[in-house]
Amino acid sequence: MSTIKMTVNGKSVSAEVEDRTLLVNLLRDTLNLTGTHVGCDTSQCGACIVHIDGKAVKSCTVLVGQANGANITTIEGIARGDELHPMQAAFRDNHGLQCGYCTPGMIMSAIDIVNRHHGDLDEQTVRHELEGNICRCTGYHNIVKSVLDAAGRMKVAQAAE
């Protein structure tokens, strides 16, 4: 057992857990943040993606000890109160989800993609960058549209700040 201390969605948390605990299990089972999903559990599908110190990472393949002291952001931590994050809003407006299972991972990945490319994205780049996130419903078409739409919105939002 170890004491794990981290910042999750801006709040300091501390938990006493077994060393073999995966980050995704700490988030879901201990902290009740069940927005982060477990899909394949083999680091292929991306449903479990969260940000560790700003980087989109598959939390089913991270031991809690590796994330000890880190700053974690999950899907629950990106809206500002009632105001959706621009990426969430774009997914809603563009019908970027069907069953919704992959969506939290898609959105966390997509925010990282927009940040890394400073909002300068085209369709081909988005499709390439999303290769670590699997969706079995949409055929990706509206997901790509959502990310491109959000890239524009995030640029505008950043410029306004």
Partner 1 sequence: MYETIYHRPTSLADAAALFAKAGDATYLAGGHTLIPVMKQRLAAPSDVIDLGRIKDLIGIEVTGDALIIKAATTYYDITQSAEAKRAIPAIVHLTTVLGDPAVRYRGTIGGSLANNDPAADYPAAVLALDATITTNTREIKAADFFQGLMSTALQPGEIITAVSFPIPAKAAYSKMRHPASRFALTAVFVAKTKSGEVRVAATGASSSGVMRVPAIEQALTANWSASALDGITVSSDGLMEDIHGSAAYRANLIKVMAQRAVADAG
Compare residues 89 and 134 and give the one whose CB is closer to partner 1. 134
Query: What is the secondary structure of 32-53 as a DSSP string?
Result: --TTS--SSSSSSS-TTEEEET
Give the contacts of 25 (CB within 8 A, at least 6 positions apart). none
Judged by DSSP in three states, 90 sits in helix
Residue 22 as a binder of partner 1 (CB under 8 A): the answer is yes
Instruction: Pick between residue 15 and residue 93 the one whose CB is nearest to partner 1.
Output: 15
Q: Which is nearer to partner 1, 93 or 112 (CB)?
A: 112
Determine if 147 is a binding residue for partner 1 (CB under 8 A): no
Side-chain-side CA neighbours of 64 within 13 Å: the count stands at 26
User: Looking at 57, 70, 75, 135, which residue binds partner 1 (CB under 8 A)?
Assistant: 57
Mark 33-52 with x for binding to partner 1 (rule: CB under 8 A) and - for no binding. Answer: --------xxxx-x--x---
Q: Which residues pair with residue 22 across a beta bridge?
A: 63
Of 93 and 127, CB closest to partner 1? 127
Cβ neighbours of 124 (radius 10 Å): 9
CB of 154 closer than 8 Å to CB of 119 = yes
- State in angstroms the smallest separation of the CB of 103 from partner 1: 16
Candidates 17-25, 27-35, 87-95, 136-144; binding stretch for partner 1 (CB under 8 A): 17-25
Q: Which of 5, 66, 79, 95 binds partner 1 (CB under 8 A)?
A: 66
Give the residue carrying structure tokens 């939290």. Answer: 104
Tell me how far apart the alpha carbons of residues 122 and 43 are, in angstroms, rounded to a whole number. 26
Instruction: Give the residues lining the site for partner 1 (CB under 8 A).
Output: 2, 18-20, 22, 41-44, 46, 49, 55-58, 61-66, 68, 109, 112-113, 116, 129, 131-132
